[in-house]
């Protein structure tokens, strides 16, 4: 009877997990955002990462706490020490009755250059134990331009299925109807604060009159940021050109192989006609042992997809900063005229 009850409970749990609603919102507490910003800003421009803790409630992923990972030296044992540190931190949090359920991780980036194979592999490692996890990306360089560059990302389900099969050929991508924009999904972020913190922030907020002028917002020093984005954009274009050369080399070899196959088939058919006229058995037209019929491996399109995604990200950043700069220029022009 107990076995039947346990089996039914497991079946119900599996059914509920399969019928879980899709993730719609990532709700982060304000204190968690401040911790992430502080950690990333202190070590900028070095890249850092940390653990996200919280609860998975329906279509909302609540992030209630986080802790940073230590910056490791090159000669340290990365795997063992990192795992021990995480377990020790989560044990300490559990002892003080703090949420210690892992819901993902956060990491810093430089000028939005986060779309890499390493990020996808980290996602797949987390997915082995956590079905719905997110990665919070924070960009200190873009935040210095007056924008809170904070976004929550997850891998799309269709991309994860394709990545597990490790088959990124053109035919498979067309079959799955997958393009470079379908790799990552950005989840909206909602900042949540308790009523006590909201009341405290209201008390701290100064009474600023409308007539007060804040000319620091009109600073036009965006040239370094734009220059770095353009430099990274040029590097990505060079990388994309190299990926295209790989495909051109593959298609040249493929066309050469097809020409060799046609010549071999024509020769074999002429030989079979001669054998048939002599009353002998014809030979098979396809010979698997012949290297001419060995299929050529098609290069993976994953790298080109990631580079294209990164190019689009740089273009969007340049477009956003340039648009703000033009608005400031026109506003400064109007102020000088007045």
Instruction: Show the DSSP H helices in 72-185 as ranges.
Output: 78-95, 117-127, 140-143, 157-165, 170-176
Average pLDDT, the chain: 79
Name residues whose C-beta falls within 8 Å of residue 90's C-beta, 6 or more positions apart in sequence.
53, 100, 102
Rounded mean pLDDT, 110-119: 84
Cβ neighbour number for residue 310 with a 10 Å cutoff: 22
| Percent of the chain's residues with pLDDT above 90 | 5
pLDDT of residue 80: 57
The contacts of residue 165 (CB under 8 Å, 6+ apart) are 172
* Crossing angle (nearest 10°) for helices 302-337 and 117-127: 110
Q: Which of 16-20, 258-262, 295-299 has the lowest mean pLDDT?
A: 16-20
Task: Give the lowest-confidence range in 28-37, 59-68, 95-104.
Answer: 95-104
Long-range contacts of 238-246 (CB under 8 A, 24+ apart): 239/303, 239/307, 240/304, 240/307, 240/308, 240/311, 243/299, 243/303, 243/304, 243/307, 244/304, 246/299
Would you state the pLDDT for residue 56? 85
Q: Are 321 and 145 in contact (CB under 8 A)?
A: yes
Q: Which residues contact 91 (CB under 8 A, 6 or more apart)?
A: none
pLDDT band of residue 136 (cuts 50, 70, 90) is: very high
Q: How confident is the model at residue 321 (pLDDT cuts 50, 70, 90)?
A: confident
Q: How many residues does the chain have?
A: 338
Q: Rounded to 5 degrees, what are φ and ψ at 84? A: -65, -40
Mean pLDDT score, 286-305: 80
Going by C-alpha positions, the residue among 79, 72, 139, 73 that lies closest to residue 112 is: 139
pLDDT band at residue 1, thresholds of 50, 70 and 90?
A: very low
Closest residue by Cα to residue 23 from 54, 50, 49, 68: 54
Dihedral class, residue 176 (left if φ above 0, else alpha if ψ from -120 to 50, else beta): alpha
SS3 195: helix
Cis ω before 9 (30° cut-off from 0): no
pLDDT higher than 50, residue 2: no
What confidence score (pLDDT) does residue 169 get?
A: 78
Cα dist from 195 to 61, 106, 198, 200, whole Å:
20, 26, 5, 9
Neighbours of 55 (CB within 10 A): 13
Which ranges of the chain does DSSP label H, i.e. alpha helix?
Answer: 2-18, 30-43, 78-95, 117-127, 140-143, 157-165, 170-176, 195-204, 223-277, 302-337
State the pLDDT at residue 106: 92
């Amino acid at each position: 009877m107990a076995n039947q009850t346990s089996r039914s409970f497991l079946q119900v749990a599996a059914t509920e997990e399969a019928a879980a609603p899709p993730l719609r919102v990532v709700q982060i507490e304000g204190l968690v955002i401040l911790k992430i910003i502080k950690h990333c800003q202190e070590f900028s421009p070095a890249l850092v990462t940390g653990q996200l803790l919280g609860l998975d409630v329906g279509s909302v992923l609540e992030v209630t706490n986080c802790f940073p990972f230590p910056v490791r030296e090159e000669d340290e044992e990365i795997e063992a020490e990192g795992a021990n540190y995480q377990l020790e931190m989560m044990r300490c949090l559990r002892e003080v009755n703090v949420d210690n359920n892992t819901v993902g991780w956060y990491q810093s980036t430089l000028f939005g250059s986060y779309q890499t194979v390493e990020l996808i592999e980290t996602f797949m490692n987390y997915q082995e134990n956590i079905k719905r996890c997110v990665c919070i990306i924070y960009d200190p360089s873009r935040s210095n331009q007056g924008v809170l560059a904070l976004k929550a990302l997850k891998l799309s389900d269709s991309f994860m299925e394709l990545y597990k099969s490790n088959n990124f050929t053109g035919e498979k991508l067309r079959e799955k109807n997958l393009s470079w924009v379908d790799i990552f999904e950005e989840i909206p972020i909602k900042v949540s604060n308790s009523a006590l913190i909201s009341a405290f922030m209201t008390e701290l907020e100064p009474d600023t009159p409308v007539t007060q002028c804040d000319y620091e917002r009109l600073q036009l020093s965006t040239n370094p940021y734009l220059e770095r984005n353009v430099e990274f954009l040029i590097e990505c274009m060079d990388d994309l050109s190299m990926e295209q050369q790989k495909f051109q080399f593959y298609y040249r070899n493929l066309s050469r192989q097809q020409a060799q196959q046609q010549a071999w088939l024509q020769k074999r058919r002429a030989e079979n006609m001669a054998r048939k006229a002599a009353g002998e058995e014809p030979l098979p037209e396809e010979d698997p042992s012949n290297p001419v019929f060995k299929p050529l491996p098609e290069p993976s399109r994953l790298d080109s997809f990631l580079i294209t995604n990164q190019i689009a990200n740089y273009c969007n950043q340049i477009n956003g900063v340039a648009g703000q700069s033009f608005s400031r220029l026109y506003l400064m022009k109007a102020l000088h005229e007045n």
